[in-house]
Amino acid sequence: MKKRIMIVGPTQAGKSTLANALNDSDRPLKKTQDVIYGKNTIDTPGSYIENASMYKYLIATAQTASHVLLLLDSSRMIDVYPPGFAKTFNCPVIGVITKTDAAPENIDLCTQKLLRIGVSEPYYRISCKDNTGVEALRSQLLADQS
């Protein structure tokens, strides 16, 4: 079975946009309560991380993942991840700070949050608006899979 990259983050953090970029797809963006399996990704609903009772679904879904990307939206500084959450997964966990063009002043705070969540550096700072950082993330993920 092919291993995919699981993307986790709160609602509106850019999960589906990033999934489209990693899948070379232009699937329409819409809020859904479904897990979407793409060519290279597993796009999870924001509600899975926003409600602690749903963590079990993230953990179960991650069993088939090669990597877990934990997204933080730099333009919306909400706390959804509990301390040490990254240690829940048995595959590599990568921290991704999204919408860096919208709120560059929050990047240091996002870095501190990723440390508290238990994600090791390097962190990927991306903006899907102009594709900043997306290629570096894609290269890392492909290098890890080979």
Q: List pLDDT tens digits, range 86-120.
A: 999 999 999 999 999 999 999 999 999 999 999 99
| DSSP three-state, residue 82 | coil
Q: How many CB atoms lie within 10 A of CB 56?
A: 10
Does the pLDDT value for residue 145 go beyond 90? no
Q: Which of 12, 74, 20, 18 is nearest to 45 (CA)?
A: 12
pTM of this prediction exceeds 0.85 = yes
By residue range, what is the domain housing residue 14?
4-145
CA distance 38 to 41: 5
Residue 136: CATH number of its domain? 3.40.50.300
Q: List pLDDT tens digits, range 22-31.
A: 988 777 666 6
Evaluate whether 4 touches 40 at the Cβ level (below 8 Å): yes
CA distance 59 to 90: 9
Domain count for the chain, please give it: 1
Average pLDDT over residues 40-53: 94
- pLDDT the model gives residue 62: 95
Paired residues of 42 in beta bridges? 6, 37
Q: Which of 65, 81, 82 is nearest to 73 (CA)?
A: 81
- pLDDT the model gives residue 24: 82
Q: Which two tokens stand for residue 4?
A: 């995919």
